[in-house]
Structures are given as structure tokens and as C-alpha cells.
Amino acid sequence: MGRAEAAIALLVLVLLAASLTWLARRYALHRQLVDQPGERRSHHVATPRGGGIAIVLTVLLATLAAAFCFPAAAPRLIVFAVGLLLVAGIGWWDDHRPLPALWRLLVHMLAGALLAGLAWQATGNLLQAVLVFLVATALVNLWNFMDGINGIASSQAVVAALGLAAVMPAPYAFAPLALAAACLGFLPFNFPRARIFMGDVGSGALGYLLAAFVALASVATDINWLALLVPLMAFLVDAGFTLLSRMLSGQRWMEPHTQHVYQRAVKAGASHTRVTGVYILLGFSGSAVLVAIASLPSLQQGGVAVAWGGLLACLWGVMRVRLRNH
């Protein structure tokens, strides 16, 4: 596929995702799938949810097209699609009728195991397969935790996908670009004003997809695993350290809350647009760091990744102290 054809295909995916989001909003309003404002939420207006199904369907259609264009890769693409359907399906169910957290986690682990199996089959490296499983299970849940204000989850997926695409060879790079296109079709309905929320069907799927593309990049390139996580680091730090602090303080960490730094910033008076914009800047910075270090030796890549994570962790700590009363 040439650059012109790829550009046209990506534009089609943007328009498809936008159309499907519009339909998802009509469906949510018809079924009264609406998130009400509350103490543990960061919005103040009742808003329909479940718009992330548009991203899922767009990526699935792109996967079907890829399987048609590359028949040799079709079995692996089918396994990937099954994992996506599992994560999105349990999220769609939860959007309609809330499920116990353990059930969702078991499905997420099953999807992660499918990705891990693909990594093992591609590399024969058991350690890499275990890493894929852990990263996939973690990202599915962390992306759900971080989907709490307008535009933040989908915009971070866009910048992370662009960063991963920039260091991947063709045709592999088209996979994260397809995700970025699908998110760009959804984003105008969710940012700066939210006319529909992504819902669990979308947030969990984004975590799964980004884990899949990190795994794909680890197979298609020689880049250090830690370096591949740099574009995701803003979310990993905020979600990870907030989760750890809740666990250490004895709180019920699986319950909804508004203790992430991005949520505290909104409670302190910052607008959704401003806070999401800061995270977009951090995401683009992380993607730029990944591109800059991609040609370095693996050990140096890992060192820079650890330093970047440490910098963001320090920033998280400073903001946590400044926003401790919110």
C-alpha cells in the first residue's frame, strides 16, 4: 500500500468512526444508557455512554481488511480480534448491566493470554509472552481508570499510537495508525464538550489495543520494552501510583473514585480541556522521547525510559501534594 492509498484508508476510518459514534449516541439515548453526575464522577451533566463501540468496530473492520490483504497473517489477526471482542464485549455488557469486578478481570486476563500466545508463537520467548500478558491485563484496567474527563483516554491513545507507529516498519505501522484514526473519529463527540462518553466498552478496548501494538512493536523492532512504554507513561504513572496509594491506605481500590491527579486538578477548578491538554502534551513528549532514543543501544533506551518515568513520578508527587485537599 502506497502513501496515498494509506492516507485515503485512514481518512475512511476517521469518517467511519465518526458515523458509528453518531449512531452509538442515538442508541445510548434510546436505551437510556446515561451516566449521571455524582460525588465519584468529574462531570456535571447527564451524558450518554458507550461511544467507544465505534472505535472497536472501526478497528475490527480494519483488521478484517488486513486479513483479506495479508492472508498469511489472517490466523494471528483472528486471535487478536477475538481478544478485542472479549474485552469490548465484557465492557459493553458492563455498560448495560454492571458486572462484578472479578468477572471483568478474568475476561481481561483471557484476552491478555491470547496476546501472550501470539507473542510466544512469534518469538519463542516465554519471558516476552509473560510481559505481554501482564502489560495487556494492566493496560485494559488502567485505561479504564483514567477515562474520567472529556477526551483524556482517546487523545492519549492517539498520541501513544502515533509514537509507536513512528518507530515501526511498514506495514506494521498501519496498525497503530488505524487506532489513531478511529479515535480521531470519536474525539469530536467527546472533546472539548462531551456529547457521549466512551464507556467501558471503549476504555478497556483502548488498553488492549495499545498493549497489542506495544507487543507488535517489540516483535517488529529491537527497541527495549521499557522504551516502548514511554508514550504511555503519563497514564501509567498517574494510574499506577494512585492505585498503589489507595491500596497502601487500605481503601477499596477497585471502587470508582476521583483521586487521580487529573481528577483532583478538575476538582480544584481546572477545566477538562486544560487538564486533557496537559496530558496530551505529556503524551506527545513521551512519543518524541521514544523516537529520539529508538536508534540507541537497548541498555541506553532502558535507562532513558526509567529516567522519563522517574521524572513523571516526581511530577505526580508534586501535584499530589499541591492538590491534596481536593
What CA–CA distance (Å, rounded) separates 196 from 182?
15
CA dist 114 → 127, 206, 292, 301, 321 (Å): 15, 16, 31, 28, 40
- The 3-state DSSP class for residue 137 equals helix
Name residue 48's beta-bridge partners.
34
- DSSP-derived letter for residue 36 is P
**Residue 144 labelled as part of a binding site:** yes
Report the Cα 182 to chain-centroid distance in Å. Answer: 12
Q: What angle do CA 138, 143, 148 make, to 5 degrees?
A: 145
CA distance 301 to 284: 18
- CA distances 151 to 55, 156, 188, Å, are 14, 8, 9
34-35 and 47-48 as β-strands: parallel, antiparallel, unpaired?
antiparallel
Cβ of 248: how many Cβ atoms within 10 Å? 9
The amino acid at residue 96 is H
DSSP lists the bridge partners of residue 35 as 47
* Residues contributing to the annotated binding site: 144, 200
* Residues contributing to the annotated binding site for Mg(2+): 144, 200
